[in-house]
Amino acid sequence: MYSFGKSDVGKIRRRNEDCFKITESDEWVSALVCDGMGGVRGGDIASELAVCVYTDTLFKEIGKSGEDLSGQIIKNAMITAATEANTAVVQRALSDEGLKGMGTTLVAAFVWRNKAFVINVGDSRLYRLYKGCLQQVTKDHSFVQYLLDSGKITEEEAANHPNRNVITRALGIEKEVTVDFFMVDDFDSLLLCSDGLINYVTEDDISNTINTETGIKNKVKSLITAAKDGGGGDNITVVLLMKEGK
């Protein structure tokens, strides 16, 4: 498995509130992206804290299995890790008045034996690319997604909706958090990203870049450049996992 990630502050924001991490072993790859929010300095603290706690908890839970790792153990470990990350962000916000209201999205993947285990909270996304076709795996926890599901707006209206950045679920907002879980059996590549990519680059252009650009680093860098060329109004984080390093 080939992996590469990059985060950029974008063209408007002064502070990068996104955070990501990729960890590899001989048997698996773990990756996650968090997009922080809240307060003057809360977003970057929330996202970094969530990444650290999630990663530490995940590896601790995985390590308990020894050589008996299984799909169920991985799923449970990922959900436990996200739950612990939520608790950590909640407690940190309660301990500092200046951090009140901070939170973060989280999207994570764990690839093992050619299967991808995926969780998400918020509107950071994971896509799979399979046989040249890009498909969104996760589902946004956002006000716009709610309107779409209710049939109150169209896909075209959603793309330019004034409240498209309003999320309905995040780590750090409530003491308990609901985590969505997905399994991906067939894929050539996995893309994890914050909405700083999605809001400024169409899915067709994302697909075209991954399919045509040479080299995993160039693919990631080109996606970030495209988001900045498209406006760059938010922090941009892109993580790409590929079975082949073309």
Q: Encoding tokens for residue 211?
A: 């399919």
Query: Exposed e or buried b for every residue in 169-181, given b needs 16+ CB within 10 A?
Result: bbbbbeeebebbe
State pLDDT tens for residues 193-219.
Answer: 999 999 999 999 999 999 999 999 999
Q: CA 35 to CA 169: how far, in whole Å?
A: 12
State pLDDT tens for residues 121-130.
Answer: 999 999 999 9
CATH of the domain at 57: 3.60.40.10
Q: CA 130 to CA 108: how far, in whole Å?
A: 19
Q: CA 65 to CA 191: how far, in whole Å?
A: 28
User: Is residue 205 within 8 Å of residue 196, measured between CB atoms?
Assistant: no
Q: CA 239 to CA 77: how far, in whole Å?
A: 21
**Domains held by the chain: number:** 1
Report pLDDT for 246: 66
pLDDT at 146 over 70: yes
State pLDDT tens for residues 70-80.
Answer: 999 999 999 99
State pLDDT tens for residues 19-41.
Answer: 999 999 999 999 999 999 975 57
pLDDT at 241 over 60: yes
CA separation, residue 210 to residues 32, 119, 133, 144, 188 (Å):
19, 22, 10, 27, 11
Q: CA 190 to CA 238: how far, in whole Å?
A: 10
Q: Higher pLDDT residue, 68 or 136?
A: 136
Range of the structural domain that residue 10 is part of: 2-242
